Structure 1
């Protein structure tokens, strides 16, 4: 439909006035808009497996048909043809806002909201407008009056709009605003990529719809001379969409996957998660959190945390800041211990608006730690004391016997000493786990000191250290224990005159320092290595001592790795993070090469 402010206007009552226009240029523009729009619709359809693509294809196709109908209206010769094309344009305009809203709902991950009943409700207005447009000759609800106007060298349809048209325009704008609000929320919460996507979608509908609304309100007559520029708005929308599609970002990396993924993660987590608003009310909770309540999750939503879980509410800080604590909570007569973590929720400009509270059940872990602590103390103290008693009596008995019986006494004494040494190593492991703190350590100096301490124990052994430059690693006091154990093990099992070579080098690319301990002995037994590399003791794979476990736990605790290569001796390779490097190798698994 065309509305002009100047030119020759012929209306139903025979009145006319002078108008000026450029029909060939306008015809070219609207037909170009139609062609570009259909091309964009085709590109969108090629990506129809992406969230929001099918309804967006409908949206762009309908907009293109609208532009094409407007171009045909400019070229039409008779009043009846112009009126029919204007009716087609108005009917097509009922599809665009609804297709837009469905596109936004699918794109933002809210497609499940559009049930059949709700879709039927949204279709009532387009169907009603279609009926009114088809029967427009019998009433004045859509057009109060109709006529033609001269635009360039042609006549075009020029109606006066009725109340049904204005109601349709208001409904269309309402749907656009709803979609805009959903995209606006996504803009605030999204990263840079999704902000660009949301802005592109929002601009694709906002520009032509706003332009069309201003046109029918006669706000653009001075600029457009009465020509409807809505089609040009769709050309701009097509360009924006085409850019997004050709860059493979608009539909390939949609936020719906991220939103659904977050919901699934939250729903399937074993941790209990509560979301609180600024007043301490529970606004959401996952399924796991229902174990904390007496009723269901829906029963507690909207209630304050102090009402539902007073002990937890009392333990939380007064202000919504990040924090962590351990808290016992009673549920169904059973006390469970939880590792509680608190994170603040921020609005724009950093204003805190609530908290996310997650609770991880650590009851079993806490019990295991207590059991291990008791067993450790028994092994380190009670058993050690009893072994000292056994050794003392064996020495007394050895003084009273001779010959073969004395050899047996020596065997008892040697075995007792080994068990005491194992007890000491277990104590060292416990200390390394409980109290060790990381700090920069100059590895070459530390290694030289360990060699000076170990060499006197093996007078027939030779240790060669190749450490060309000072290298600083991130470690703690237990590093000495690990290095000592590596050298002791290599010299002890290296034969009558063992030779051990230690090489230290820097791996610049990985921000690591590599330490190789190479011996010429028979090699570490496969069962020993298998137990350490698998991370557990089994009936088939178990270590005869705790030395390798001690080294492995210490190295991995510092974010390093340990590897074993058995060939003409054993090479143990330890990699530790440089003091200025990354600790991302934590929990790496040892490997073995034969």
Structure 2
């Protein structure tokens, strides 16, 4: 009889086979999940190897014993490639499975299967197989031939690479898939160690192969990974696919550099710019393809002119550079994202030319027209002609005002906001005085609480001057009247805290730090037409919906640039425009994307 040790070895082999087969049945519910099918193949051949070797230990007929050994070899040589396929797909590298080099791995287990089942007609796999009992079991010894060692080597190396892929997942993704990956990686250790010992003839019983029995530990750890942690319910394929899509699917060119500024990877959009074979580009320096001086400080690398090797024109890019780090936080390179801004810069140049025409040519020509209208008006007595002359003057002045608004637009577009502390009450007094000088006969009422804001005074003055001029222009009062109210408010409140006289200022509650000072411009006119307000909506002006002038655009852009907010309350009885200016510093362009960038 076999004795306790022999019985334990046989039962261990059968138990490992049963456990592996049970896991195959359990995993069938996950068929189609990343790596699940390949792992089912791995476990199926693992089970086959265990049953084959376990049965072989009980068979003493040399012929049947050789077939049982062939079944054991069948499982051991197929397990490695299938495990590698599982690891590749599970960790999000399924593209490797379609490569010719990977498919060649299966030549060894396929050839081993054919050679194992055609013994003893040849001795290409092993020779001189004979039964050499250990613990009363039908263990065998034979001389393994080069093909046999090669097949086992390929299987072990494939399994080892699979383990390394799982370890890399542990390091890269932290605790998210750690338990599952550790369990599966450790499960390969016992059978690999015992198989290597058997192949090397290490131990007191070289005829005894303990690898099938040790697969029971393998199955137990796999069972923990599958049943205890739902390994195939959540796997790294999603995250790796997201990482790949984050680069490959971006429409913008993305380039990855090593610490020596050499290209190591890039997406399809970058490949179109480089216009070279990928294999000839990897490892070359970025400056071989783009005129980007990499020795500049990152803050100076925002916009550069670059010409690609196959380009017919110079293209300009906005460049974003960020460090590339490994899981330990060590900088291992840089990621460069290019945004083609060629068309945007051309549009800005065209806008600059058009604006210059409005500011200079139009103003000069209108000065001549206005002068001629004045001469003509002084020389005619006909009321009808006088009415026409007045219309010419009115329209001419409107065009002159457009030129002035274009100048203010240039100021906003080219000026980088310069924040400083501004005492609001005297500042609003100066705004009101300027409005009275520009519009003689108009009445500008002012009420302003004491307070201090942090803002760009030039931009704020342009905003308020436009609002006051608009209020006076559209009031129904006689004389034309506009009202300026300045009040300190608690953040998020709208309670008025300032009162005063018609033209002076009176200190009341002050705006406190961390809050905002509210400036209201009021008139009692017919209200701003809805089309005008809809035109300055963040969605922008389009050919079917547009405003009639630049004033509201300048006001909105200006408030954005100083980090404030603006609100329009317009009814048939009048309009109140509320501008909130931070007391402790704005964001410096909270929505500056709505304003064309400066023309540098």
Give the TM-score taking structure 2 as reference length: 0.71
Bigger Cα displacement from structure 2, 91-100 vs 240-249: 240-249
In structure 1, the residue matched to 2:502 is: none
In structure 1, the residue matched to 2:39 is: 56
**1:372 counterpart (351, 365, 390):** 351
Instruction: Provide the C-alpha distance between the structure 1 equivalents of 2:6 and 2:457, rounded to a whole number of angstroms.
Output: 83
Asked if 1:341 corresponds to 2:319, the answer is yes
The alpha-carbon distance between structure 1 residues 179 and 262, as it changes in their structure 2 partners (threshold 3 A), is: farther
1:307-351 CA-to-partner distances (Å, cap 9, x unmatched) read 955xx45x5235997834422648789541322637477575777
Instruction: Provide the C-alpha distance between the structure 2 equivalents of 1:514 and 1:83, rounded to a whole number of angstroms.
Output: 94
Instruction: Provide the C-alpha distance between the structure 1 equivalents of 2:473 and 2:553, rounded to a whole number of angstroms.
Output: 17
Q: Which runs of 5+ in 2 are unaligned?
A: 494-513, 596-600
Instruction: Provide the C-alpha distance between the structure 1 equivalents of 2:325 and 2:476, rounded to a whole number of angstroms.
Output: 69
1:151-202 CA-to-partner distances (Å, cap 9, x unmatched) read xxxx5443336425544331111212333455566667x4546774894486
The alpha-carbon distance between structure 1 residues 303 and 91, as it changes in their structure 2 partners (threshold 3 A), is: closer
2:548 counterpart SS class: coil
The alpha-carbon distance between structure 1 residues 204 and 64, as it changes in their structure 2 partners (threshold 3 A), is: farther
Q: CA deviation at 1:431?
A: 1.4
1:250-290 CA-to-partner distances (Å, cap 9, x unmatched) read 1573413432553233xx54x4x555556666555555556
**1:422 counterpart (392, 399, 402):** 402
Asked if 1:548 corresponds to 2:527, the answer is no
The number of aligned residues is 551
Instruction: Provide the C-alpha distance between the structure 2 equivalents of 1:556 and 1:378, rounded to a whole number of angstroms.
Output: 26
Instruction: Provide the C-alpha distance between the structure 2 equivalents of 1:416 and 1:209, rounded to a whole number of angstroms.
Output: 94
**1:317 counterpart (277, 282, 294):** 294
Q: CA deviation at 1:232?
A: 0.6
In structure 2, the residue matched to 1:437 is: 417
In structure 2, the residue matched to 1:264 is: 249
Instruction: Provide the C-alpha distance between the structure 1 equivalents of 2:589 and 2:218, rounded to a whole number of angstroms.
Output: 51
**1:384 counterpart (363, 369, 391):** 363
In structure 2, the residue matched to 1:171 is: 154
Pairs within 5 Å for 1:262-411: 262-265=247-250, 268-269=251-252, 271=253, 286-288=267-269, 296-298=276-278, 300-301=280-281, 304=284, 309=289, 312=290, 316-318=293-295, 323-327=301-305, 329=307, 334-339=312-317, 341=319, 343=321, 360-401=339-380, 404=383, 405-411=385-391
Instruction: Provide the C-alpha distance between the structure 2 equivalents of 1:279 and 1:161, rounded to a whole number of angstroms.
Output: 55
In structure 2, the residue matched to 1:238 is: 223
Instruction: Provide the C-alpha distance between the structure 2 equivalents of 1:474 and 1:104, rounded to a whole number of angstroms.
Output: 59
Instruction: Provide the C-alpha distance between the structure 2 equivalents of 1:431 and 1:159, rounded to a whole number of angstroms.
Output: 93
In structure 2, the residue matched to 1:5 is: none
In structure 2, the residue matched to 1:159 is: 140
* Contact 1:486 1:551 (C-alpha < 8 Å) held by counterparts: yes
Instruction: Provide the C-alpha distance between the structure 1 equivalents of 2:330 and 2:296, rounded to a whole number of angstroms.
Output: 12
Q: Which runs of 5+ in 1 are unaligned?
A: 1-7, 10-18
1:501-542 CA-to-partner distances (Å, cap 9, x unmatched) read 77855359xx99796958565332122123222755455422
Instruction: Provide the C-alpha distance between the structure 1 equivalents of 2:579 and 2:74, rounded to a whole number of angstroms.
Output: 75
In structure 1, the residue matched to 2:529 is: 525
Pairs within 5 Å for 1:135-284: 135=118, 141=126, 144-150=129-135, 156-160=137-141, 162-164=143-145, 166-180=149-163, 182=165, 190-192=172-174, 196=178, 199-200=181-182, 203=185, 206-213=188-195, 215-216=197-198, 228-245=213-230, 248-250=233-235, 253-265=238-250, 268-269=251-252, 271=253
Instruction: Provide the C-alpha distance between the structure 1 equivalents of 2:355 and 2:520, rounded to a whole number of angstroms.
Output: 30
The alpha-carbon distance between structure 1 residues 347 and 505, as it changes in their structure 2 partners (threshold 3 A), is: closer
Q: CA deviation at 1:137?
A: 5.9
1:229 counterpart SS class: helix
The alpha-carbon distance between structure 1 residues 101 and 477, as it changes in their structure 2 partners (threshold 3 A), is: farther
